[in-house]
Amino acid sequence: MDPRASVLIPVKNGGALLGDVLDAVLAQRAPWPFEVIVMDSGSTDGSVDLVRARGVRCEVIAPESFGHGRTRNQLASLSAGEFLVFITQDAKPASPEWLHHLIEACDAGADVAGAFGPHIAHPGARIVTTRELAEHFAGFGAEQSVVRIEDRARFDADPGYRQYLHFFSNNNSCLRRSVWERLPFPDVAFAEDQTWALAAVKAGYGKAYAPQAAVYHSHDFGVWETLQRNFDEARSFQLYFGYDMQRSVVRAWASAALLARRDARWLRQAGLRGGRWLKNAAYMAGVELARTTGQFLGTRHKHLPGWIVGLLSRDQTLQRGRSA
């Protein structure tokens, strides 16, 4: 029988966690057949052997040919499923029904272009990381839902409403193949998922949220990685969406202070006291300063020399590693 769903995973040095992710995917309980395809872009840690040892199809491409949208389009073109499911090498399905719930949400209506599910912090993640992810995805509701552009004037005028409608994450997503054939992922440097979702909702499609289709996916980035990640995000949001995340360094640092105060409160609510609380709160203050400084620099990227952009961009750093 032809697969109803294709689970598609780009990989580069997935490590031991990749094996856990694949095992969780292969253990999915679904009332229809599904396939799993991996595309590796130059792993040197045995990821290809790890994938093939599980009987999973693994295609290999040159590291320099990798692109966030381009590689996912390649994966989709190799697949046969009616629904295209994208996760990353560090996004582990949280239940054996994850795939079923994700496809169910994407198939909620004939005009639904795609669906996404929540991220849960990996066990042992930072307190702030766990709380932030939980609160972010709680904002999409506790029930399966579909959103569309209901108010075009508000969509055009309200960036917050627009961001809510186009939020999408290829760490845990599903696309209807018939829509992908008309609207493939754009070949952009970053945020191919949200760029695609914006095009989909502007074309009149609905976007679904599947709260029961969760994956374990989180990053406890250090100070420098946080700055780089937020630089990339702010630069991409300006390039592809026209958003200025931080226009002023003063406002950026004021935002960092507010976030640091929030983190300190969350740490205390989690039971940290004394020197342990102080140490963690001080570290998170540094992380938040890096976050908003990265956003400011990313917003101002057009005013920076190319070599500075290359230094600040985490994605370009990773790309250099892929092609080295």
pLDDT in tens, 255-299: 999 999 999 999 999 999 999 999 999 999 999 999 999 999 999
Q: Which amino acid is at 95?
A: S
What pLDDT is recorded for position 15?
A: 92
Are the C-beta atoms of 65 and 41 separated by less than 8 Å? Answer: yes
**Does residue 320 carry a pLDDT above 80?**
no
* Cα–Cα distance measured from residue 217 to residue 88, given in angstroms and rounded to the nearest whole number: 9
Distance CA 260, CA 258 (A): 5
Mode of pairing for the β-strands spanning 206-209 and 112-116? parallel
As a whole number of Å, the end-to-end CA separation of the chain is 41
pLDDT value of residue 316: 74
Asked whether the predicted pLDDT for residue 237 surpasses 50, the reply is yes
Q: Hey, what are 157's tokens?
A: 């005028």
Average pLDDT of the residues in 102-129: 97
Q: Across the strands, what pairs with 129?
A: none
Amino acid in position 14: G
Q: Residue 296: CB partners within 8 Å, gap ≥ 6?
A: 234, 245, 246, 247, 248, 249, 252
Reading the block at residue 203, the tokens are 């074309």
Tokens 């031991």 — which residue? 16
- Band (80; pLDDT cuts 50, 70, 90): very high
Across residues 306-323, what is the average pLDDT? 76
If we measure between CA atoms, which residue out of 104, 139, 106 comes closest to residue 207? 106
Q: For residue 317, what pLDDT is reported? A: 72
Residues 62-83 have a mean pLDDT of: 96
Which residues is 34 bridged to in the sheet? 5
User: What tens digit of pLDDT does each residue of 186-200 get?
Assistant: 999 889 999 999 999
**Cβ contact 100:46 at 8 Å:** no
Structure tokens given for 254: 């004021």
Q: What is the pLDDT of residue 323?
A: 42
| pLDDT tens string 17-60 | 999 999 999 999 999 999 999 999 999 999 999 999 999 999 99
Residue-wise pLDDT for 198-220, tens only, equals 999 999 999 999 999 999 999 99
Using alpha carbons only, give the angle 194, 114, 205 rounded to the nearest 5 degrees.
Answer: 90
Q: Please give the Cα distance from 180 to 161 (Å, whole number).
A: 24
Instruction: Tell me, letter by letter, the H, E, C secondary structure of the chain.
Output: CCCCEEEEEEECCCHHHHHHHHHHHHCCCCCCCEEEEEEECCCCCCHHHHHHHCCCEEEECCHHHCCHHHHHHHHHHHCCCCEEEEECCCCEECCCCHHHHHHHHHCCCCCEEEEECCEECCCCCCHHHHHHHHHHHHCCCCCCEEECCCCHHHHHHCHHHHHHHHCCCCCEEEEEHHHHHHCCCCCCCCCHHHHHHHHHHHCCCEEEECCCCCEECCCCCCHHHHHHHHHHHHHHHHHHHCCCCCCCHHHHHHHHHHHHHHHHHHHHHCCCCHHHHHHHHHHHHHHHHHHHHHHHHHHCHHHCCHHHHHHHCHHHHHHHHHHC
Instruction: Return the residue matching tokens 């029988």.
Output: 1
Q: Please compute the mean of the pLDDT values over residues 64-68 and round it to a whole number.
A: 93
CA 307 to chain centre: 26
Residue 189's pLDDT is 82
pLDDT tens-place string over residues 248-263: 999 999 999 999 999 9
Task: Report the pLDDT value the prediction gives residue 315, as an integer from 0 to 100.
Answer: 79
For residue 321, what pLDDT is reported? 56
Instruction: Output the average pLDDT for the chain.
Output: 95
Q: What is the pLDDT of residue 324?
A: 41
